Structure 1
């Protein structure tokens, strides 16, 4: 006759799930084959494990309390208690083709963000990035065990990571394969886990990753560094590291595709007569010719001073929008000169001109937000 599960765990029938779990842990520590190699202890350990499997599952416990067939124990047609233990723990343990889980798993991907200046986007930049991720434990080198020790085969599933369970259904007796409750499907147990990583094979640490950021990147772009993410459990392969780029606004220049935009204030005399000036671009001084009669809203183009495309070699252009500055304060002599100039040129008074879509587009782009 099968032993009463409550008696096996030494708890009352009114025991709470926490009391049942506490009793199982106490007995498991006392009877586990790694601690108590005796044959009697091994048999009791099997009883204790099965009793816990039943009573820790609310549905199985309720069925057991009603006197039903909660498991392959009890009832005709099962060949008795000894045959059932053979099904649970004997004959190689796991189902056909079942393999134990690997403790080594791929690590998680990691994401970091880096902020660049527009100048970094033009030429590309090298950055050393600090990343807080999981790395291999130096003490156990990913084995999860204390140095000098190693995992041992599970006595319950005999290293397969699985046990068979036989249950009665309307279709007859059904044998199912489930992960071993003792080794959690790994097929091995770790009697002496590494104290540094608590048996995980990895620890949290800050490390530095060197990254060459190419020219042409833009805000929101993610660069992938395969194998630079978190190391997996038990020293498993690293995940990937993703670097998300954010570009800070520049007070003078802005980006339009592969071109760089800027605005140049031009005095009225220089706009009329033309001039040559030197401006500071993102890659150094560059000469700019202002043709005579340049108009406000005109765009002066300096070839090859823009951004190198992310997947290309031909740089964009630096486009400079002209803003003609009209003087607001004139002394008497200056005013007289302007009035004389107006009389000589016989300039017409202000009037509506033909609609110029291009001019409006230039002004909108130049002055927008």
Structure 2
């Protein structure tokens, strides 16, 4: 039995297709990525998810895992290390190959994946940090990251130019060899990855001088990226074919860019709606009039009605962020805060006392309450 159930980790069934496995991995890797999820166990879960995907996305590793309980074919012995009753290590690598027993007695067994079949390369992830305004309006930028690319000398074959890989002489192109072991139950057959071709089914007589037979080289890849207007913090963008090179002529994997957006000193954002706070004087709040308000699209005029109370919110239509999957912009919500002055000059005091007298207010009445206190209380309601 496998030490870890990779199918349960990804939340898929044992007969899940490659697309189902890839979809589950992308969903979980985004959820548990340590840069996105701040839970204490996020990093451990993220590594576990990657470990599961690395095995189940590779046909050869998945076949070994399904048969032996490990990606390299060396799973736990029957009943654990050492086995039960001395019956451990029937396959010579610690795994008890039940399908090999069936294969010997009944001629059946698990169908092996073609080791020479094209396989897509691994997906990669890149984190991009944006200023608040860059996320609103988008931009074009250039990124650089490391990846495995197809060798330009041998075009991925791993063989020296002018030569080609040949069928492995040790396994006959099957990618595995069959061994026999004497056990208390008789002679048992088991399958192991071919030590000559390492499961590829191909043998390279003369290796490529550039990649040493790998068929791939490490490169610093440069890519121009167009960041869409309206992207938000935590969202990601998929760039097809910008991941790592595949095997046996398989396509490149994909690149996933995860966006991090820096906060703004003036604005906050929820989707396409932008929020801003605006201070106004109590005279403007009482008399009404036009004020200048900041938006990401530039300053605009906002008409404040007479008698506006602190905390009142106004809507500026179309002055928010672009809708990423829609047309037009969201709105901006402006919340006004009526500011009471801490100090007054002589003319202001005279004017306010006249206003208080005209209003019938006693600025030095009982209880020490004065006009300024009443004005402050009125605007704080």
Which band: TM-score by shorter chain? 0.5 to 0.7
Between 1:122-131 and 1:295-304, the stretch displaced more is 122-131
Contact kept in structure 2, 1:99 and 1:160, CA below 8 Å: no
CA distance in 1 between counterparts of 2:275 and 2:268 reads 5
The unaligned stretches of length 5 or more in structure 1 are: 1-58, 60-69, 72-94, 361-369
CA distance in 1 between counterparts of 2:288 and 2:113 reads 83
Correspondence 1:185 to 2:203: no
Residue matched to 1:214: 228
Residue matched to 2:61: none
Correspondence 1:243 to 2:243: no
RMSD between superposed Cα atoms in Å: 3.2
Post-superposition Cα deviations, 1:12-56, rounded to whole Å, max 9, x if no partner, equal: xxxxxxxxxxxxxxxxxxxxxxxxxxxxxxxxxxxxxxxxxxxxx
Aligned counterpart for 2:310 among listed residues 293, 296, 303: 296
Structure of greater Rg? 1
Contact kept in structure 1, 2:318 and 2:332, CA below 8 Å: yes
Specify the SS of the correspondent of 1:334.
Answer: helix
Contact kept in structure 1, 2:232 and 2:271, CA below 8 Å: no
Equivalences, count: 265
Contact kept in structure 2, 1:100 and 1:162, CA below 8 Å: no
Contact kept in structure 2, 1:100 and 1:160, CA below 8 Å: yes
Aligned counterpart for 2:354 among listed residues 329, 340, 346: 340
Residue matched to 1:320: 334
Post-superposition Cα deviations, 1:274-310, rounded to whole Å, max 9, x if no partner, equal: 2223334211332211222222211121111112333
Residue matched to 1:151: 165
Specify the SS of the correspondent of 1:342.
Answer: helix
Would the alpha carbon gap of residues 97 and 245 (structure 1) be closer, same or farther in structure 2, given more than 3 Å must change?
A: closer
Correspondence 1:142 to 2:174: no
- Cα drift, residue 97 of structure 1: 6.8
Specify the SS of the correspondent of 1:281.
Answer: coil
Post-superposition Cα deviations, 1:130-163, rounded to whole Å, max 9, x if no partner, equal: 2221111111111111111211232233333333
- Cα drift, residue 329 of structure 1: 2.1
Residue matched to 2:277: 263
CA distance in 1 between counterparts of 2:310 and 2:317 reads 21
CA distance in 2 between counterparts of 1:249 and 1:330 reads 36
The unaligned stretches of length 5 or more in structure 2 are: 1-76, 78-88, 91-108, 363-368
Contact kept in structure 2, 1:271 and 1:290, CA below 8 Å: yes
Correspondence 1:201 to 2:218: no
CA distance in 2 between counterparts of 1:227 and 1:310 reads 23
Specify the SS of the correspondent of 1:337.
Answer: helix
Specify the SS of the correspondent of 1:160.
Answer: coil
Would the alpha carbon gap of residues 105 and 279 (structure 1) be closer, same or farther in structure 2, given more than 3 Å must change?
A: same
Specify the SS of the correspondent of 1:197.
Answer: coil
Between 1:107-116 and 1:228-237, the stretch displaced more is 228-237
Contact kept in structure 1, 2:135 and 2:230, CA below 8 Å: yes
Would the alpha carbon gap of residues 182 and 134 (structure 1) be closer, same or farther in structure 2, given more than 3 Å must change?
A: closer
Aligned counterpart for 2:177 among listed residues 154, 163, 185: 163
CA distance in 1 between counterparts of 2:348 and 2:175 reads 97
Aligned counterpart for 2:322 among listed residues 308, 311, 318: 308
Specify the SS of the correspondent of 2:135.
Answer: helix
TM-score for the superposition, normalised by structure 1? 0.63
Specify the SS of the correspondent of 2:299.
Answer: strand
Between 1:143-152 and 1:216-225, the stretch displaced more is 216-225
Would the alpha carbon gap of residues 246 and 267 (structure 1) be closer, same or farther in structure 2, given more than 3 Å must change?
A: same
Residue matched to 1:122: 136
CA distance in 2 between counterparts of 1:237 and 1:105 reads 7
TM-score for the superposition, normalised by structure 2? 0.61
